[in-house]
Amino acid sequence: MKLSELDSADNYNDVWVLGEVVEGKVHRVTLELLGKAKDLAEKRASSGSKVVCLLMGYQLDGLEKELFSHHADKVIKVDDESLKFFNDSIHASVVTRLVKKYKPEIMISGATSKGRSLMPLVAVKLETGLTADCTGLEIDEESGLLLQTRPAYGGNIIATIKCEDYRPQMSTVRQGVFKVLPEDVSGTGELISEFVLDEEKQTSFTIISEEGLDGETRVNLHDANVIVTGGRGVKSADGFKVIHDLADAVNGAVGATRATIDSGWISYSHQVGQTGLTVQPEVYIACGVSGQIQHLVGMQSSDFIIAINKDPDAPIMKLADVAIVGDLFEVVPEITKLLSN
C-alpha cells in the first residue's frame, strides 16, 4: 500500500516470514529466513518489531514449535484443506487479507517456485514493491528502511534496492543465502489461528493431483557435503562421467553450470547458479567451470572451493582456495583414484 498521511509508515511493524511446508515439514529456507528476520527485527526494535511466521497449509499440527525454537515471536497459522495443494489464487487472497489486517513492515519469503509465484501476486494485490532473489538484507541505520541487495543483469552488477513509500517492503531470498541460527529449544511465542474465507476458496483454478520426485531424479544439492560441478570444459554428456565418478567416490552430489544444461548434457535439476540453486557445501569442486558471475553467485559461500581448469586466468581460479591448472579429464580421475583408496 502506498504510504500517506492517513496510513503512515508508523502503522507498519513486524518482520514477516512467509513459511513453507514441504511433505509435512517446515522448509529449511523458512528456518534460514527466521534467523535473518530476527536480525532485522532487532535492528527495528525501536518500533517494537517482532518476528512473525505466517504458515499456511493443511494438517500443520505442532509445526509452530519448530518455528518458535527458530526465533519466531509469533506464528499465524492458517490450517485448511483448501490449502493442501499450492493454489496460487487461494494462497494469495489469504496472505493479502492478513497483511492488510496485521500490517507488517517487512515480508520475506524463500525464492522457491512457490515463493516466486505467490510473492509477485501478493505484491501487486497489495500495491507494493518486491525484490527477487536477494543476496543481502540490511536495515539502513538512518532511515530504518530495508536495503535489499541482489545481483542484476546476469550478476554483472550488484544492485541495492529500497521500497521507501510503500508497505510492506517485500523480498524473496534463495535457499542457502542465510544460515539457520542455532535453535533455542525452550523458545515459545504466541500462536494465532486464522481461517480461509469461503469466497477465497472460489477460484477457476483447481489442482487435481500432486506427485513427488522419485529418488532417481531428486538431486539433493542442498544436503550434500561435497558438490562436484561440471562446466563447459566437460565438453559432452559423456564427459560428465568423470564428474559422476568423483561425486560417487566422495558420496557427493553432481552440480552443473547453465551452459552444460543449455547444451543438453545434463538435466536442469543439477544447475547451480543464479537461475539454478544456491549452495554452500563444505567442499565445492568446480571442474572445467570458467566462473561466470551467474555461476559464482550460486556457490561462492561454499566453505572450501577447489577449481580445476586449463586456463589459469579463468575467474573461478581467483575465487578458489585451491586452483589446479590442468586438463580436468586427467586431473579429476587422479583425484577420484586417490580418494577411492
- Segment 74 to 103, residues that bind another protein, using CB under 8 A: 85-86, 88-89, 92
SS3 call for 292: coil
Between 7 and 330, CB nearer to another protein: 330
58 binds another protein (CB under 8 A): no
The least CB distance from residue 218 to another protein, in Å, is 8
Query: What Cα–Cα distance (Å) separates residue 329 from each residue in 232, 300, 318, 320?
Result: 13, 24, 21, 19
Contact assessment for residue 281 and residue 302, using Cβ atoms and an 8 Å cutoff: yes
337 binds another protein (CB under 8 A): yes
The least CB distance from residue 15 to another protein, in Å, is 18
60 binds another protein (CB under 8 A): no
24 binds another protein (CB under 8 A): no
Report how far apart the first and last C-alpha atoms of the chain are (Å, whole number).
Answer: 62
User: Which of 112, 229, 257, 260 touches another protein by CB under 8 A?
Assistant: 112
202 binds another protein (CB under 8 A): no
Query: What Cα–Cα distance (Å) separates residue 112 from each residue in 29, 47, 268?
Result: 9, 30, 15
Angle in degrees, CA 38, 113, 99, rounded to 5: 50
User: Which of 7, 42, 81, 164 touches another protein by CB under 8 A?
Assistant: 164
CA–CA separation, 221 and 53 (whole Å)? 26
- What the block records as the C-alpha cell of 217 is 531424479
330 binds another protein (CB under 8 A): yes
197 binds another protein (CB under 8 A): no
Give just the sign of the alpha carbon dihedral 146, 185, 54, 8: negative
The least CB distance from residue 184 to another protein, in Å, is 28
Between 160 and 236, CB nearer to another protein: 160
Chain-centroid distance, C-alpha 324: 31
Q: Where does residue 126 rank: exposed (0-12), middle (13-18), buried (19+ CB within 10 A)?
A: buried
The least CB distance from residue 73 to another protein, in Å, is 27
Q: Pick the piece of the chain touching another protein (CB under 8 A) from 49-57, 66-74, 179-187, 202-210.
A: 202-210
Residue (of 242, 254, 271) closest to 333 by Cα position: 242
The least CB distance from residue 186 to another protein, in Å, is 31
11 binds another protein (CB under 8 A): no
Q: Where does residue 241 rank: exposed (0-12), middle (13-18), buried (19+ CB within 10 A)?
A: middle
Question: Could you say which residues in the range 269-288 bind another protein, by CB under 8 A?
Answer: 274-275, 283
Between 154 and 188, CB nearer to another protein: 154
The least CB distance from residue 187 to another protein, in Å, is 27
Count the site residues for another protein by CB under 8 A. Answer: 87
300 binds another protein (CB under 8 A): yes
Question: Could you say which residues in the range 216-245 bind another protein, by CB under 8 A?
Answer: none
β pairing state of 304-309 and 25-26? unpaired
Interface mask (CB under 8 A) for another protein, residues 124-163, using x and -?
A: xx-xxxxxxx-------------x---xxxxxxxxxxxxx
The 10 Å Cβ neighbour count of residue 312 is 11
CA–CA separation, 38 and 36 (whole Å)? 5
The least CB distance from residue 53 to another protein, in Å, is 20
Between 51 and 56, CB nearer to another protein: 56
260 binds another protein (CB under 8 A): no
